[in-house]
Amino acid sequence: MARYIFITGGVVSSLGKGLMAASLAALLQARGYRVRIRKFDPYLNVDPGTMSPYQHGEVYVTDDGAETDLDLGHYERFTGVSARQSDNVTSGRIYQTIIQRERRGDYLGATVQVIPHVTDAIKSFAQDQTEDLDFVLCEIGGTVGDIESLPFIEAIRQLRNDLGRGQSISVHVTLVPYIAAAGELKTKPTQHSVRELAALGVQPDVLVCRCEKPLPEGDRRKIAQFCNVRPEAVIAALDAPSIYAVPLQYHAEGLDEEVLRAFAIEPGEKPPLDRWSEITDRLFNPEGEVTVGVVGKYVGLQDAYKSLNEALVHGGIANKVRVNIRWIDAELFEGDEAEVAAALEPCHAILVPGAFGERGAEGKIASVRFARERRVPYFGICFGMQMACIEGARNLAGIEDASSTEFGPTKEPVVGIITEWMSDKGLETREAGGDLGGTMRLGAYPAKLAGNSVVASIYGDNEISERHRHRYEVNTGYRDALEEGGLVFSGMSPDDMLPEIVERPDHPWFVGVQFHPELKSKPFDPHPLFASFIAAAVAQSRLV
């Protein structure tokens, strides 16, 4: 029977509950336990799929096509366990499910209430598909005291009773602020936060205290005394130089040992953490550095490209170099070649990531042209692949009006909305005016690669599976014209209907992909495309 670790946060948001959960799972995994992490999000959106990246950061997509919270990306990157639909739920999805059941008459005329119907649905979600696990870590979004998270706190209170003694613990993440004027850390916010959580019926077993100064032993004992935990169960969490140093840092503070002791499990020998030591050694002792220009439209919030950022770091780990990311707003140099050159000339490689809408498109097309003409390594992801095709159509294939129907009516729809495709569910169809939420081509799909292609050599295989999140596709009716201009369609869907990868064999490194390879990259297993892209950037750095 799986044991449960419920993770809550207090005092303020953005304390790093997700990273703590991912790090703890990685440490337990290193000890030989089977783990899975789940996220409860209290907002009323059914999923983050229709939310602006500025509101919520990136949307993380799973193999089974779920649009989820970005924390699931951390979970995968730290554990290597593929996330799935059942690992993320929102209040919106819970209420949607309950209302649908009520409309069908499933409750047999009963009054539908938060308790027991909402809390029962949350508990059912937490326990779904856990038979083969040793530990299930459940992170509750938001901050203790928020109205939105109350049903989730009540649900875990009930679930702890349902599971029985020794089958669950509570880990509470709080802030111990440093007051410069007083020259000391203050424990009172943590005391109040724990008191608030205890008043809701959940007594923490382990406290993780975020602080910017080392936690004095006296303060540790004070927190333990007033919060009703053992002093050893008060874990200091200082800022780390890299998120990949966090597992080692938490282990040094004894987090994994205290969690096991809370379950009355003897920790035993130290876990093998060589994987994390090697990763941090490569990060902190690089043999060189490169600069990658990321030309996007959400560059004001780096969480909008969280997985992309990490995948570039992983590519650096694979090549033992530091990757300096130069975030460039695509709107700043639309139509001005001098500004394009000024922004991109310092870069050893250029990447155009996924996006939606026309804003910034011309700047991205200009970036593609710069990379092609100056022979700078170019990586186009999703929208970035589409812009590479439009650039090639306009400047090499003589199709001056080449555009995308995403931008409005066009005479030359090099990119158009995808209305049907084959999946493991059979033929899927969409309408241009349909709902936005959950209607894209989502999740893992296979692709076949041309045997003599650059990407086949990078993957070391002719068949791959990658995760998608898009509504528009490159129009194969323009394939001949684009290939005459040197842009080769080197990856296609198994039925040969949907373009998956384009490349320029005569270029040092020029690849566009319709999928999102960053979603599958991990620090201990960098995605081959990112490893190869950064290797090309290293080669480019030696030429300038």
Q: Which pLDDT band, with edges at 50, 70 and 90, does 208 fall under? A: very high
Strand-pair category, 178-179 with 412-417 = unpaired
Q: Are residues 441 and 354 part of one domain?
A: yes
Q: How far is CA 530 from CA 21, 114, 316, 337, in A?
A: 26, 46, 9, 28
Which of the four pLDDT bands, split at 50, 70 and 90, describes residue 479?
A: very high
- 292 and 242 co-located in one domain: no
Tell me, yes or no, whether 296 and 384 share the same domain.
Answer: yes
492 token code pair: 């296609």
Co-location of 76 and 175 in the same domain: yes
Residue of 56, 74, 516, 527 with catalytic role: 516
Query: What local confidence, expressed as pLDDT, does residue 431 receive?
Result: 56
Helix (H, G, I), strand (E, B) or coil at 200: coil
Tell whether omega for the bond before 116 is within 30 degrees of 0, i.e. cis: yes
Q: Are 127 and 218 found together in one domain?
A: yes
518 catalytic per annotation: yes
Among 279, 302, 337, the domain boundary falls at: 279
Q: Are residues 258 and 295 in the same domain?
A: no
Domain count for the chain: 2
Query: Does one domain contain both 202 and 129?
Result: yes
- Is-catalytic flag, 382? yes
Q: Regarding beta strands 426-429 and 420-423, do their DSSP bridges make them parallel or antiparallel, or are they unpaired?
A: antiparallel
pLDDT digit string, tens, across residues 296-322:
887 777 788 999 999 999 999 999 999
Q: How far is residue 244's CA from residue 27's CA, in Å, rounded to a whole number?
A: 12
Question: Would you state the pLDDT for residue 344?
Answer: 92
Contacts of 182 (CB under 8 A, 6+ apart): none
Please tell me whether residues 204 and 106 are part of one structural domain: yes
Residue 436 has pLDDT above 90, yes or no: no
**Could you list the residue range(s) of the whole structural domain that residue 368 is in?**
286-541
- Among residues 382, 466, 500, 503, the one annotated as catalytic is 382
Spot the catalytic one: 139, 389, 518, 527: 518
Model confidence at 147, pLDDT cuts 50, 70, 90, reads very high
- Same domain (yes/no): 296, 239: no
CATH code, 107 = 3.40.50.300
Looking at residue 292, which CATH number applies to its domain? 3.40.50.880
Are 255 and 396 members of one domain?
A: no
Domain end marker among 251, 279, 307: 279
Terminal-residue alpha carbon distance, the chain: 59
* Residues 496, 349 share a domain: yes
| Dihedral angle computed from the Cα positions of residues 120, 122, 123 and 127, in that order, rounded to the nearest 10 degrees | 140
209 is catalytic: no
